[in-house]
């Protein structure tokens, strides 16, 4: 099949491109390189089944594909709060453009949604039926509400136009190719530990998250797209729950770092707890995470330890007309 991955040069997108090529598909990576990196996909450049397009999903594009994986959107607070209006446009206009393409070429399309649609949940763990507890006007709303609108668009295109959709709600995911300065807790803790800097915990450290290694999540994407039973949404995450203090201590143990732990004020609208109920994924997709936190962190630490510069800055590009790049142009 010919597969389009929006956000294909990003953290998740690059791993997905890799997996789809391994499974024998033709793959198009589409990215504007705000948070995506050419270096994430440079190892794929010699594969004749791989194509790269520099383009912003907020602008329409005409392609002939069989499947679309819509992953394009900054996912960390540091990046999506940098330009909140653009973040909303990416989620909403990107969804409209990709759904329009799917409708036109009769492609199956997957929306990479998020556990942020649940907000600061009053129900724990979170099932797909839960409508959430989201602040519509807070500093995180550009991301949370943008993803909620995208889900609405997907369901309406499905009901009104019979577009073949799939929706996956991603919980905290980590692994190699995360940006070291993206502000997410796993990358923060690892980089601080490796550099011998204080480990920064916001709040008292009792807030919880559930961490899923990237390979497990990609497997969920593949299984979701290959089944015919449901369109979703389906929770994709690790039901094992850890406090921020537990995560910090695990990172310190695995790195052998002597970094002290310091506490700072909790940012606004930061959820106190987050844990997926993956009953639906288990029953329909026969999926659950296989990689333990210790194993996943060890792989992620090794990746960050090999980076020469932990202070890399994201590339900000304002994309108008699309620019097509051949794989050999990846440097």
Residue 196: Cβ within 10 Å count: 11
In terms of pTM, does the model score above 0.85?
Answer: yes
pLDDT digits (tens, 9 = 90+) for 213-254: 999 999 999 999 999 999 999 999 999 999 999 999 999 999
Note the helical H segments in the chain: 11-22, 77-80, 84-105, 141-161, 185-194, 214-225, 244-255, 279-280, 293-305
pLDDT value at residue 18: 98
**Average pLDDT in the 101-124 region?**
94
pLDDT digits (tens, 9 = 90+) for 51-70: 999 999 999 999 999 999 99
pLDDT value at residue 317: 36
Residue 212: Cβ within 10 Å count: 26
Which has the closest alpha carbon to 304: 170, 172, 215, 174? 174
Q: Which of 43-57, 74-88, 306-320 has the highest mean pLDDT?
A: 43-57
pLDDT value at residue 79: 72
H/E run at residue 28: strand 26-31
Q: Is the pLDDT of residue 267 over 90?
A: no
pLDDT band at 16 (very low <50, low <70, confident <90, very high): very high
Cα 84 to Cα 112, 136, 137, 205, 304, distances in angstroms: 19, 13, 11, 27, 28
Q: Is the pLDDT of residue 324 over 80?
A: no
Q: What is the C-alpha to C-alpha distance for residues 120 and 77, in angstroms, rounded to an integer? A: 15
3-state SS assignment for residue 136? coil
Gyration radius of the chain's alpha carbons: 19
pLDDT value at residue 45: 92
pLDDT value at residue 143: 81
More confident residue, 246 or 320: 246
More confident residue, 18 or 323: 18
DSSP annotation of 218: H
Q: Is the pLDDT of residue 291 over 60?
A: yes
DSSP annotation of 112: E
pLDDT value at residue 160: 98
pLDDT value at residue 199: 95
- Report, as residue numbers or ranges, the catalytic residues: 143
Cα 264 to Cα 63, 195, 198, 261, 315, distances in angstroms: 47, 19, 11, 10, 28
Q: What is the C-alpha to C-alpha distance for residues 237 and 154, in angstroms, rounded to an integer? A: 21
**Residue for token digits 């602008």?**
59
Q: What is the C-alpha to C-alpha distance for residues 323 and 211, in angstroms, rounded to an integer? A: 36
Q: Is the pLDDT of residue 308 over 50?
A: no
Burial environment of residue 251 by CB neighbours within 10 A (0 to 12, 13 to 18, 19 or more) = buried
DSSP annotation of 284: I
pLDDT band at 148 (very low <50, low <70, confident <90, very high): very high
Task: Take residue 28 and report the two structure tokens written for it.
Answer: 């198009």
Q: Is the pLDDT of residue 307 over 90?
A: no
**Average pLDDT in the 257-277 region?**
85
CATH superfamily of domain region 2-173+212-237+276-290+314-329: NAD(P)-binding Rossmann-like Domain (3.40.50.720)
pLDDT value at residue 76: 62
Task: Take residue 122 and report the two structure tokens written for it.
Answer: 């009053």
Which has the closest alpha carbon to 288: 226, 325, 237? 237
> Mean pLDDT score of the chain, rounded to an integer?
89
Sign (positive or negative) of CA dihedral 238, 242, 243, 247: negative
pLDDT value at residue 268: 66
Q: Is the pLDDT of residue 152 over 50?
A: yes
Q: Virtual CA dihedral for 146, 148, 151, 152, nearest 10 degrees?
A: -100
pLDDT digits (tens, 9 = 90+) for 71-105: 998 776 777 777 788 889 999 999 999 999 999 99
Report the phi/psi class of residue 183: left, alpha or beta, with left for phi > 0 and alpha for psi in -120 to 50.
left
Least confidently predicted of 111-115, 121-125, 282-286: 121-125
Q: Is the pLDDT of residue 329 over 50?
A: no
pLDDT band at 266 (very low <50, low <70, confident <90, very high): confident
Which has the closest alpha carbon to 190: 34, 291, 306? 306
């Amino acid at each position: 099949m010919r597969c389009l991955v929006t956000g294909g040069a990003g953290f998740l997108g690059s791993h997905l491109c890799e997996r789809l090529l391994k499974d024998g598909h033709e793959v198009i990576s589409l990215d504007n390189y705000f948070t995506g990196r050419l270096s994430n996909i440079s190892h794929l450049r010699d594969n004749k089944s791989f194509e790269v397009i520099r383009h912003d999903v907020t602008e329409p594009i005409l392609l002939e594909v069989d499947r679309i994986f819509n992953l394009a959107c900054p996912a960390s607070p540091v990046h999506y709060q940098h330009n909140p209006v653009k973040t909303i446009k990416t989620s909403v206009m990107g969804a409209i453009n990709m759904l329009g393409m799917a409708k036109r070429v009769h492609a199956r399309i997957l929306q990479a949604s998020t556990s942020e649609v649940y907000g600061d949940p009053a129900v724990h763990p979170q099932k797909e039926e839960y409508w959430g507890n989201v602040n519509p006007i807070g500093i995180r709303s550009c991301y949370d509400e943008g993803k909620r609108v995208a889900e609405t668009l997907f369901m309406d295109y499905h009901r009104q136009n019979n577009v073949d959709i799939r929706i996956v709600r991603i919980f905290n995911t980590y692994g190699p190719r995360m940006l070291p300065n993206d502000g997410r807790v796993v990358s923060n803790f690892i980089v601080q530990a490796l550099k011998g800097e204080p480990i920064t915990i916001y709040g008292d450290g009792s807030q919880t998250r559930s961490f899923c290694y990237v390979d497990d999540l990609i497997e969920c994407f593949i299984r979701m797209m290959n089944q015919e039973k449901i369109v979703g949404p389906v929770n994709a995450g690790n039901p094992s729950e850890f406090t921020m203090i537990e995560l910090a201590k695990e990172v310190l143990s695995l790195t052998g770092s002597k970094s002290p732990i310091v506490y700072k004020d909790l940012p606004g609208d930061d959820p106190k707890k987050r844990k997926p109920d993956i009953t639906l994924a288990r029953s329909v997709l026969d999926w659950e995470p296989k990689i333990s936190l210790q194993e996943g962190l060890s792989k992620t630490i090794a990746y960050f330890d090999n980076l020469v510069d932990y202070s890399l800055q994201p590339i900000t590009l304002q994309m108008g007309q699309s620019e097509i790049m051949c794989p050999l142009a990846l440097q």
